[in-house]
Chains A and B, each alone.
Chain A
Amino acid sequence: MKTGIFICHCGHNIKHTVDVKRLSEFFKKYPGVAVSQDYVFVCSEPGQDLIKEKIEKEGLDRVIIASCTPSLHEEMFKDVLKKSNLNPFLLRRVSIREHCSWVGDDIEKNTEKAKRLILAGLYSAAHYIPLEEKIVEVNKSALIIGGGVSGLSAALFLSRMGIYVYLVEKDVELGGHVRILKNIWPSGKDGKDIVDEMSNELAKRKNVEIFTSTKISNFEGFFGNYDVALDTPNGEKRITVGGAIIAIGFSPFDPLLKPDLKYGKDERIITTLDFEQNGDNLHLPDKPRVAILHCVGSRDEQIGKPYCSRVCCVNALRVANAIKQRYADSNVESFYMDVRAHPKGGEEFFEDTQEKGVLFTRANVAEINPSPSGIIIRGEDTLLGEVFEREFDLVVLSIGMSPPDDSKIIANLLKISLDKDKFFLEAHIKLRPFDTAVKGIFIAGSCSGPKDIEESINHGRASAVKLFGFLNLGYAYVDPFISYVDPKRCSGCRMCEQACVAKAIKYDEQKRVVRVEEAACMGCGLCNATCPSSAISLRGYFDNMIDDEISALMEAV
């Protein structure tokens, strides 16, 4: 083995607190080390040329660069190896800046630590093998699950970009919950118009197939080639898609889960959604007394919904406005915890509503009792600390969003995860809010958490852009740091299959061994640590690499 060790001074950054000369002298004598050299800036042009020259002249087969942290300049150093006709995965980076020179002041201690770290790299790199980035072909088509606003906007974008789109909706009509909304704040448009505009354009497009009253019965495969079975009214249909977007929306909170609210017991107690559908047919007196209850099915630990549903405050304000508009002499009172009218212009809308005479009382409502003359609400005013009792002609419950009823079914079919509230889980809440852990499957709209219409549309488009980026290439690289199985050692116990989150491990019934679906493997190494027969290994992190790293760190040098 001919290993080349290059130790960077990083100007003064490393040299200042690590004795780089002593390190390079020490490793010169080490067995298996052909080159050990320190250099002022290994990442500079001359530094790169130095590595190239040494690889070619000395015939190095491992390169260790002790410098800054591995996430910096990684690709650049890999390119240097590639240009010298050495497999780029035979490079080992050792961080002696972020993990050594910058975190300690004592030059003696730091030099000792750096020595151990480089030694760990040296021991580990001895087990490195050349790796190849594999390429798989990608089918340029997409499956959109859910025909609500986010699904529609995603489908429209992808179709315009030339991707073949299959749109699946379980209801008879496209449009989801937005279809039944009227006079949507702030534009004043009806939901039906918004939805029709999108679905009409979609229906005209040639590269779109829409399946209504359809459910997904099977979903398997891996990124680029997912095989999907659809349960349509005309029988089963099988399609192959490159990727999928889940946009199955939400379920409105069912107020029957809170029996104290007496919903369904009296027709004068309705939800915001009922008001939306039948608001015109309410039989109210000329001077109606109306109570609006906020946060029904939101921010409620007792029923397991601790989250804020984000849209219901504005919905409650819309109801209050609608009643004030219809009955000028009405007495409208809102019982709230906090008013979170967060969308653009929401705070002004809240103030407007207050100016129109709607009374806002910060309260905990304890009891709702229907009586012939009206509905009596008892509760505590949490600002005044007083108990109150008032009578109303109508009680409107501002219900929140619950996770979609089908979330569990879809999650199981597509092998993705749900969060603690049973919404779909993002790969990373801030950095990858549209991705799931499964490559090529994205989430859009309120199925990943409550969102308003504008957010849902944007979310749908964003997911579509991300998916388009993957599909348009036409091929995909498979990260080489994935697991593989040694069939001779595999006992077929299938413990890895249960542990694998990506469902990348498949059991071969005939041979009684498992194999790894390479395109699906995420490379976490859980299977490697789980296998009792040491039959599965994660490339780049073999057992013997880590074992030797431990030895190196503990070795007396």
Chain B
Amino acid sequence: MAEDGKNKNPEIVGFACSYCTFKASEMAGSLRLKYPDGVRLIQVPCSSRVDPAFVIKAIFEGADGVFVAGCHPGDCHFIKGNYFTRRKIAALKEMLDAFKLKDKLRLFWVSAAEARRFIDKVTTMYNEIKERENVREKA
């Protein structure tokens, strides 16, 4: 984990749907919008391709946060994929809650046109995790 002065910098793995969130992240790049370098994306064809095992693996390997991002409900390129994702992630969150790891996982919807929303979402997630980790560190 990279050190930045006293504070740790969170590492976040994001699963981004090719049709929406990944496109939004491309657009964010073209617009030269900035977001923390700890956020790294893995491209998947649809958010429904994300096996809960991937999320668990990422957390086990040391990710401070994992997000799954897809198209807005009703906008899925594969019609209903994101509805499956929504249910799967809800169940996974329940499970992670038992290990007090629920905070590490987030699900959000970003359409291909919403570069700023993408920046908003990942930056908020990054800052919140950073704050929480540092509070824990001090305690």
* Interface contact A524-B25, CB-CB below 8 Å: no
* Interface contact B40-A526, CB-CB below 8 Å: no
Identify which of residues 525-551 in chain A touch chain B, using a CB-to-CB cut-off of 8 Å. Answer: 525-526, 528-530, 538, 540-541, 543, 546-547, 549-551
A97 at the interface (CB under 8 A from B): yes
* Interface contact A109-B49, CB-CB below 8 Å: no
* Complex interface: stretch among B55-63, B93-101, B124-132: B55-63
B33 at the interface (CB under 8 A from A): yes
- Given A103-B29, A501-B79, is A526 in contact with B74 using a C-beta cutoff of 8 Å? no
* Interface contact A437-B79, CB-CB below 8 Å: yes
Closest CB in chain A relative to B108 CB, distance in Å: 18
- Given A522-B78, A528-B49, A553-B13, is A99 in contact with B37 using a C-beta cutoff of 8 Å? no
Task: Give Cα A103 to B54, complex, Å.
Answer: 26
A481 at the interface (CB under 8 A from B): yes
Identify which of residues 16-38 in chain B touch chain A, using a CB-to-CB cut-off of 8 Å. Answer: 23, 25-26, 28-30, 32-37
Give every chain B residue within 8 A of A98 (Cβ-Cβ). Answer: 25-26, 28-30
Closest to B17 in A: A524
Closest CB in chain A relative to B16 CB, distance in Å: 10
A193 at the interface (CB under 8 A from B): no
* Interface contact B78-A546, CB-CB below 8 Å: no
Question: What 0/1 pattern do residues 63 to 99 of B give for CB contact below 8 A with A?
Answer: 1000000000011011111001000100000000000
* Interface contact B37-A523, CB-CB below 8 Å: no
- Given A428-B77, A526-B81, is A550 in contact with B37 using a C-beta cutoff of 8 Å? no
Give every chain A residue within 8 A of B120 (Cβ-Cβ). Answer: none
Task: Give Cα A104 to B57, complex, Å.
Answer: 27
Task: Give Cα A238 to B30, complex, Å.
Answer: 53
Give every chain B residue within 8 A of A541 (Cβ-Cβ). Answer: 44-45, 49
A106 at the interface (CB under 8 A from B): yes
Closest to A529 in B: B51
Most buried by B among A428, A530, A554: A554
Task: Give Cα A113 to B39, complex, Å.
Answer: 9
Task: Give Cα A521 to B112, complex, Å.
Answer: 23
- Given A102-B29, A547-B57, is A529 in contact with B49 using a C-beta cutoff of 8 Å? yes
Task: Give Cα A499 to B46, complex, Å.
Answer: 14
Cβ 8 A contact of A99, one of B29, B80, B88: B29
Interface residues on B, range: 35 or more
* Interface contact B32-A102, CB-CB below 8 Å: yes
* Interface contact A104-B42, CB-CB below 8 Å: no
* Interface contact B78-A110, CB-CB below 8 Å: no
Give every chain B residue within 8 A of A112 (Cβ-Cβ). Answer: 2, 37
Cβ 8 A contact of A550, one of B13, B28, B49: B13
Give every chain A residue within 8 A of B62 (Cβ-Cβ). Answer: 554
Give every chain A residue within 8 A of B80 (Cβ-Cβ). Answer: 417, 501
A204 at the interface (CB under 8 A from B): no
Closest to B13 in A: A553
Cβ 8 A contact of B51, one of A501, A502, A528, A540: A528
* Interface contact A105-B34, CB-CB below 8 Å: yes
* Complex interface: stretch among A259-267, A419-427, A442-450, A485-493: A419-427
Chosen A-B contacts, 7 in total, with CB atoms closer than 8 Å, are: A99-B26, A103-B35, A417-B80, A529-B50, A529-B52, A546-B44, A553-B11
| Given A103-B29, A113-B37, 5 extra CB contacts under 8 A | A113-B40, A481-B45, A501-B78, A529-B48, A530-B84
